[in-house]
Amino acid sequence: MCGVSTGSARTRGADHRHEVHDAAANQEQLLEPSHTIESRLAEVICQTPHAMWDAGGVSELVTTKNLRRAGFPFRSGALCLDFVGTIAKRGMGDQELLDSPERLATWLRAAGLPEVLDPISDEQVRTAHALREAIHDLTRATVERQRPSAETVDRINRAALPSPPTATIALDGRTRVPPPPGSVESVMAVVARDAVDLFTGPYGPRIRACQGHDCSLYFVDRSRPGSRRWCTMAACGERASSATYRRRHPRS
């Protein structure tokens, strides 16, 4: 008679179903050209028409295998959700990644946004934090299918009002002229407008919370079956798969 308990068999069966389900979504993620590291980064940055991304600008900063740049995660699939991710381990220690004007300026550059005209002040960092938390609250409400507070929505809407610096076309009709530097408020409006576009668009219902046990990131599930569980397979997905393997194949 087999020595495996019914409970263990159910657990292994559930693990197997999850592995098969995840494999389909993750295989699709790996097969689609849009999900290479470089193009995923471009996809993240170019969520709005105001972003100033170009190949040269992106290549200046090193992108790691798990889609981190300048110490910040860029694996949510949306600029506004990447901004939410600038608090690491949210709910598990809350590590602030934007703890100074210099760090905010670095994130803006790593995100491919237009340059800021003047030095960023501490007050502007606090204003950016408030926008980030409003986007986080809206994200959590969306994932939990709750109604966001009026204050949350109002803060995002007000942040989206300034006109962002805009790219233009050169006189030759072909060359793209990057947007000029702008105020902090106008550059942050790019992030706020990305939130408006995301949460009111077709991918709003596809916002997910990563199921990595120590990950607090949200991401946009763009897979065809809509069954992704991890912000990226290269980070949380591989760790979860390794943990499942060790659980199913314990050392004797």
CA distance 165 to 185: 10
Does pLDDT of 55 surpass 80?
no
Residue predicted with more confidence, 16 or 149: 149
> H or E element: which one contains 191?
helix 184-200
Residues facing residue 168 across a β-bridge: 177
The most confident of the ranges 32-41, 73-82, 212-221 is 73-82
Q: Dig out the tokens for 189 from the structure.
A: 């409006």
| Type of residue at 65 | K
Give the model's pLDDT for residue 62.
Answer: 74
pLDDT greater than 80 at residue 1: no
Give the number of other CB atoms < 10 A from CB of residue 228.
Answer: 26
Phi-psi region of 166 (alpha: psi -120 to 50; beta: other; left: phi over 0): beta
In this prediction, residues 55-74 reach a mean pLDDT of 71
Q: Which neighbouring-strand residues pair with 69?
A: 63, 72
Q: For residues 177 and 167, give the distance between their C-alpha atoms in angstroms, rounded to a whole number.
A: 6
**Average pLDDT of span 79-102:** 95
- Of 198, 170, 167, the residue nearest 180 (C-alpha): 167
Domain ranges of the chain: 15-248
The pLDDT of residue 67 is: 77
Do residues 103 and 71 make contact, with C-beta atoms less than 8 angstroms apart?
no
pLDDT digits (tens, 9 = 90+) for 161-200: 999 999 999 999 999 999 999 999 999 999 999 999 999 9
Give the architecture (CATH level 2) of 15-248. Answer: Orthogonal Bundle (1.10)
